[in-house]
Amino acid sequence: MKKIIFVPLLFIMSFAIAQSTSYTEQFRPQFHFSPKNNWCNDPNGLVYNNGLYHLFYQYNPFENVWGHMTWAHATSKDLIRWKNLPVAIKEENGIMIFSGTCVVDKNNTSGFGKNGKPPMVAIYTGHIENVNQSQNIAYSLDDGITWTKYLNNPVLDIQKKDFRDPKVFWDNNKKYWVMLLMLSAEHKVQFYASKNLKEWKHLSDYGPVGDTAGVWECPDLVQVPIEGNSNKMKWLLQMSQNATMQYFVGEFDGTSFTNENSITEIYRPDYGPDYYSAISYNQLPKQHLPTAIGWINNWNYANKIPTTPWKGAMSLPRTLSVKKVNGNWLLIQKTDPALNSLRKKLVTIPDVSLTNNKKIFPAKSTQFELQLSITPLEKNTVSAVRIAVNEDTYFEIVYNNKTQMLSADRSKTGTGDFSEQFKKMNIYEKKIALVNNKIDLQIYFDNSIAEIFVNNGEAVFTFQLFPKKNNVGIEVVSKNKKTRFSNIKFWEIKNIWK
């Protein structure tokens, strides 16, 4: 949970915002979750219980900028279509409700359950601005609708200003709860254990390692399957740093984490500018792949993006696995299969080969899924896919066969004047090798959000872009030599709010 400048209350503005929302505003995502109004950031307390996926998240109930952090709440039966619910855990007595975890305490280890009803327990950071961060708990006996804060909070306080974002899960081998916490300024993940969610013992630290350029936040640790061998598992540790994320893969023995990847390379779950604070779901059904959701925005310009009456959205749910490539473990992320239920009629576009030319697709939309393969047919070929096209404005995904670089560029989308930082953060790239002589792309575009999955989830790029209303075109381009674009499939995507 990022700490930024506090903004005063504007109650009149908040009332006007609450009355005006309709989920039809310009730039409003239609198949990504966003709150009806006001500011949101980190997903919190992702947990499955009684047939529902719960999404709690950082929320300002008063304004469309950061401040007055509380936990808002939404639920879904399929991780795709969401129902907004009342605010869950409120800021009180100068203590904001920062990021954290939710668990269903099935064995009532906490003692909060009543009449055989297991409690849902939230573990969160209580934030006192510029003074202290401590770990607190609250419980619910009605599936997360109403919450009671524990009278003896905080349950863990080491008297530090940067000690936050608990991730908690049950270790079935050790028979205790494990909690990860960030010593943010020190670039350390701390591990704690508890039998009852109330009393915590320090186990170990991990770090500093990898990307230490920014403060560490939002740790997440989850066991994930190995691609092609789902009976074998590895532990995935993800974390956030200011405006990006990194991950490690290895083993966790209930006490400490051991990284098995090279420490000379930084591994990112997302190579774009707008994916942050992703965490995985707790207590999913056994047949459900581990799944994470991240916040779509960037702290460098988050308060300034031109959306109203809301700011911030959640990523599409991503299933998680790993595979070994060149001796290191690579995170594989794919969209949850439930997303396919939102597809409208399939449009299949014939293969096309181009030499220093472009092809405009008949499909036009700002709310779609597009799949295609790029095959360079000569050396040193530069090929591109463009969306949100109107004349000389577009968002562009480029593959350079000589350098093996895949890049994405929003500098030509025609907007960005709302923030100098936004304009500086336009082009992102990652070295990606051809697989069977081609690059496979799966592109989701949702009015102001693009999520690009490369080579079946080996890399992902997430971008916010704010095109004009008539930027609805799609085209492919061979910028010099010959390229074949093939396996082209297009679906418009339904609106989840109707």
| Alpha-carbon span 173 to 82, nearest angstrom | 34
| Alpha-carbon span 486 to 8, nearest angstrom | 53
| Alpha-carbon span 227 to 458, nearest angstrom | 11
Residue at 137: amino acid letter: I
| Alpha-carbon span 459 to 350, nearest angstrom | 26
For residues 435 and 409, is the Cβ–Cβ distance under 8 A?
Answer: no
Q: Closest by alpha carbon to 493, among 25, 80, 100?
A: 80
Residue at 361: amino acid letter: F
Nearest 5°: the CA angle 481, 483, 484 is 160
- Taken as a whole, the chain contains a residue count of 498
- Give me 169's structure tokens: 């899960």
Residue 302 main-chain phi, psi, to 5 deg: -55, -40
| Alpha-carbon span 77 to 463, nearest angstrom | 27
* Residues 6+ positions from 15 with CB-CB distance below 8 Å: none
Residue 285 CB coordination number (10 Å): 7
Among 42, 220, 409, 440, the active-site one is 42
For residues 162 and 187, is the Cβ–Cβ distance under 8 A?
Answer: no
Residue 200 CB coordination number (10 Å): 22
The yes-or-no answer on residue 392 being catalytic is no
Q: Which residues are identified as catalytic?
A: 42
